[in-house]
C-alpha cells in the first residue's frame, strides 16, 4: 500500500529515551500500522508525521496527517475501535482531533 501512496512519511524517534515493555512496543507498532493504513486509504494525506516523545512520567505518541479529516457522520470502523482497545490495554489515553486540514492522534502512555 505504501508503494502506491503519494504520501511522505516522517518518523521522529529518540529511542534512547523510550524504554517500553514488549506489550507497549507491540501495541504501538499495531496502532501505527492501522493509522498509516487508514491515512493512506481514506484521508488523501500527502504528509504523515509520527513522533514519540518522553517526559518525566509519560511518553506521548503523536500521529498527524494533512488529509481531509474524519467525517463525524461516518461511524468508527473496526480499526479505530481496535486502536482504542490497544490504548486501553496499555492504560493509555487516546485523544483524536480532526478537521478538514488533517487528523491528529495523541496517545499518552504512562511510564
Q: What is the pLDDT of residues 60-109, one digit of tens each?
A: 999 999 999 988 777 778 888 999 999 999 999 999 999 999 999 999 99
pLDDT of residue 16: 63
Q: Above 60 in pLDDT, residue 30?
A: yes
Annotated domain spans of the chain: 8-110
Assigned architecture for domain 8-110: 2-Layer Sandwich (3.30)
Question: How far apart, in whole angstroms, are the C-alpha atoms of residue 90 and residue 84?
Answer: 10
Amino acid at each position: 500500500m505504501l508503494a502506491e501512496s503519494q504520501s511522505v512519511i516522517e518518523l521522529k524517534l529518540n529511542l534512547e529515551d523510550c524504554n517500553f515493555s514488549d506489550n507497549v512496543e507491540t501495541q504501538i507498532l499495531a496502532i501505527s500500522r492501522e493509522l498509516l493504513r487508514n491515512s493512506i486509504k481514506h484521508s488523501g494525506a500527502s504528509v504523515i508525521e509520527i513522533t514519540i516523545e518522553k517526559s518525566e512520567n509519560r511518553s506521548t505518541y503523536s500521529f498527524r496527517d494533512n488529509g481531509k479529516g474524519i467525517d463525524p457522520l461516518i461511524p468508527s470502523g473496526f480499526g479505530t475501535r481496535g486502536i482504542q482497545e490497544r490504548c486501553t490495554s496499555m492504560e493509555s489515553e487516546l485523544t483524536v482531533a480532526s478537521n478538514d486540514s488533517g487528523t491528529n492522534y495523541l496517545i499518552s502512555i504512562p511510564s
